[in-house]
Amino acid sequence: MSDADIHPAIAVIQARMSSTRLPGKAALDMGGAPMLGRLLERLDGLPPEYGRIVATSETAADDFIANTAQDAGWQVIRGPLDDVLSRFALSLDRHPARYVVRVTGDNPFTDPAALAAMVEIAEAHGADYVHAPGLPVGAAAEVFSAACLKRCAQEATSDYDREHINGYLYDNKDKFSIIAHQDDEGCVAREVRLTVDTPEDYAFVQELYGALDGDMATPHTAVVSAAQALAQKRAQQAAQKMARKLTQELSHG
């Protein structure tokens, strides 16, 4: 295989319908399309030379995920439900690349510019793994070198490490070159939550999508600003509701 046949990076989205906290969240509506579809739309902002893969399970329940990905022009890899690491290794085997970008399907506002910057950092420093701990939860992802991911897939044995693909790496930091990327512009509002794990998270991102006029290409800083404004508005509304409740209780006391 020549270098021309190898992607500089592949973006691999892990997704399944059987979430324990919010089952079926990949199919939840965001402005007339499933949440997974909105994530795929946002990741249109990735460099065109990147491979695009959705890695889901072989179970019939995840046919929806596979169909949504294929309809959006993404490649689909299917593997074991709980052995997520094997799905990533299979993605790399079938779509060779120098780096693998891990994205989770419950983060519809993942920042494609941050992902590309992390790949560039990994390339520049020859790093095995790059993450961005300063970005809001649900905005970032992780970058593995191909060699790093293959080693994790070969050496990880516990169920936890197979399901959470970075577990083996974090337990064996001495074996890998790790960079924690801090982007002064992008690493803002760490308290903002853009992931979807609960019904409350879902309600928030639905409202945020509306506040952005449905533009999934909105730059990360603008997304964060809108999320901050929305969180502040919700806090004020909650405080006003509490004040009214206390006033009513006192008036009837």
Query: What is the structure's pLDDT at 195?
Result: 95
Amino acid identity at 232: Q
Is residue 226 scored above 60 in pLDDT? yes
Superfamily of domain 3-251: Spore Coat Polysaccharide Biosynthesis Protein SpsA; Chain A (3.90.550.10)
Q: Estimate the share of the chain in helix, then strand, then coil, as percent rounded to the nearest 5.
A: 50, 15, 35
Q: Which of 36-50, 145-159, 173-187, 224-238 has the lowest mean pLDDT?
A: 173-187
Q: How far apart are CA 86 and CA 80, in angstroms?
A: 7
Q: What is the pLDDT of residue 236?
A: 84
Q: Domain ranges in the chain? A: 3-251
Q: Is the pLDDT at 171 greater than 90, yes or no? A: yes
Q: What is the pLDDT of residue 134?
A: 81
- Quote the pLDDT of residue 203: 95
Distance CA 5, CA 2 (A): 5
Q: How far is CA 141 from each of CA 4, 138, 227, rounded to the nearest angstrom?
A: 26, 8, 19
CB crowding 241-253: b at 16 or more within 10 Å, else e: eeeeeeeeeeeee
The DSSP symbol for 182 reads: -
